[in-house]
Structure 1
């Protein structure tokens, strides 16, 4: 498709939409990529758009906005929480509920149960531990509330901000001097931003918290396009980025780390993965998707290259070669510059400056 090459895929002037800026997420997908791909390929509206590594849900949100039923899958429970919230309307009484939670929190000096996980006293002052634990207890009073996920989304969005972690992308200790008052203030700020920018209505979005290599029958046979960015080897530590959030929301980050494709941990532990593991994983996924996509469906992978034990792995070529071997038509490999502000973790190791959009078609 000649039109693919006429687009400046870097989108240097792109600005993050407010809905996508409320909750931090590493290497966030910019909406312009899925928007342009769906515009160029124009799948029929009765087909589903799939992102098997949905992350913060940008592809799913774009597809929903454009009138498609969308499916997002991710192993990381924080990712699927974010995506569920961004694709679900917020009720009229949401801010009233949040205000009532904050007022109730003010009545308590200590939580019913103190939170405990590795190094919690290093990364969270006692006052902040108590404030977060109390806030989570009050949120959990509303487990049956239609926007319970949204309450946890707002809670999750502030955790690093009130911690002793320097920033969302830098694991260095820094006492920020935050207090219980800040915890409650930031929670309400997040809630107000979500309410203001949430979708009002939309087509169906199905979000699955699971390993994309084990989907089996969860995906229908009417996928009209796949647009995704796989977590390729040694690029970003998604589990690490959300480790504290997972602990506070009662998920297990170590279990997520063990299954996460591309986590740097997997390549440097004693029984380390070898470079071909990513190819094996992508072969399994692309073979599965071949049976789920309709004829003519594009499969678009935004991906960078990896450096593992001094060797460069061209993940774009790996994806293209696998696709051709399975029976997909190879359409194009497009190049886009990486924006420095969108990077996080392992930068000196990964040195990611360029990424590619590999386009296949069934």
Structure 2
């Protein structure tokens, strides 16, 4: 079996922060190689952690990304940033000194999740980043690296520790009450790690990575891809869309990233039911909701438009994924031609990450679609 691109050093920037239901780099790279000669602008209306944007940048292509999640946008922007690891570390050190009196959460979760010294330093860097008025490459890289180090599995070897927290999954934030019970039952104590050393280990992997500069940080933007406002005139120049919409039946994207959301300025507890993702009330509502995205994408000024989609259904939904995607395009009111559809590999990465906290998770069945505007 060929080695995954995720493990190649040249792609370390794409792995700066793992993200639940992330799709493999091989998919957008494989698609984009078909279009390179035409030098298209690439769009991802559900950009997540920015894998499509990273793939486009590797190939020297300009790209745009939209996501409703501030966590996703923070990670995706790092894929567009100039990598300045020494500058990002210097910024972290400065924030730790300037904001050492930053407010620290006092809930049972935070007291059990982080060593007191670690939490104070994390909160200091958080405070510094929250005060940034205009992002730089260094602040964007530091923010994404902090999100990537915020929680994950513990290593017994101090020099190999890559996360700040007590034992947790690395792609999603386990819920507070469950986490505290788990740690007590297992006798797990939050490690006293050197925050700068953990960051340095993360950022050192990015050293000597040579990537073309193909856009600006704000090419990854927070927005709702169903709405015209998310696609201003200056961003309607794309001719290739590569995306993976939220899985049908997956309603907990916001709740599952609550700890990273706290780091970005959100509440220090889980807030339920605040997602602005697609409607999951039923087949028709989801198709109609997704159809609004395709209609919005069709507003591009490019003469041709190709859309490539990797789409999944969580097993408990028992819904026909192919029928759902086709219904969404029909709902858009735009004329489309289905070029191809075939089964993708099973998405088991979420299952592997869930195992770190003994949480149940089933792999999803995914399909790859290629649709062209008629």
Query: What TM-score, normalized by structure 1, do the two folds share?
Result: 0.79
Q: Say what the alpha-carbon RMSD is for the aligned residues.
A: 3.4
Whole-angstrom distance in 2 between the partners of 1:359 and 1:350: 28
> Is 1:183 aligned with 2:195?
yes
Q: Which residue of 2 aligns with 1:22?
A: 16
Structure 2: stretches of 5+ with no match in the other structure: 152-162
**8 Å CA contact 2:298, 2:305 repeated in 1:** no
Match status 1:258 vs 2:248: no
Instruction: Specify the alignment match of 2:222 in structure 1.
Output: 209
CA displacement 1:77-127 (0-9 Å, x = unmatched): 111111111211134xx515524643773799x533224679433433434
- Count of residues in Structure 1 that have an aligned counterpart in Structure 2: 336
Quick check: 2:88–2:141 contact (8 Å CA) kept in 1? Answer: no
Conservation of the 8 A alpha-carbon contact between 1:307 and 1:350:
no
The question of 1:300 aligning with 2:277 is answered no
2:144 paired residue among 121, 145, 153: 153
Which residue of 135, 147, 168 maps to 1:166?
A: 168
Pairs within 5 Å for 1:22-41: 22-41=16-35
Please show how residues 1-362 of structure 1 align to structure 2 within 5 Å.
Answer: 13-16=3-6, 17-42=11-36, 44-45=38-39, 47-91=40-84, 94-96=85-87, 98-99=89-90, 101-102=92-93, 105=96, 111-115=101-105, 119-137=109-127, 146=136, 147-160=138-151, 161-169=163-171, 171=174, 172=179, 173-174=182-183, 175-179=188-192, 181-197=193-209, 199=211, 201-203=213-215, 206-216=219-229, 217-218=231-232, 220-235=235-250, 237-251=252-266, 254=271, 257-261=274-278, 273-292=281-300, 294-307=302-315, 311-324=317-330, 326-341=334-349, 343=351, 351-362=362-373
Distance 1:55 1:304 in 2: 15
Counterpart-to-counterpart distance in 1, 2:109 and 2:120: 15
Give the structure-2-normalised TM-score.
0.77
- Once residues 116 and 199 of structure 1 are traced to their aligned partners in structure 2, the CA distance between those partners, rounded to angstroms, is 42
Unaligned 5+ residue runs, structure 1?
1-10, 268-272
> 1:142 & 1:199 partners in 2: Cα distance?
25
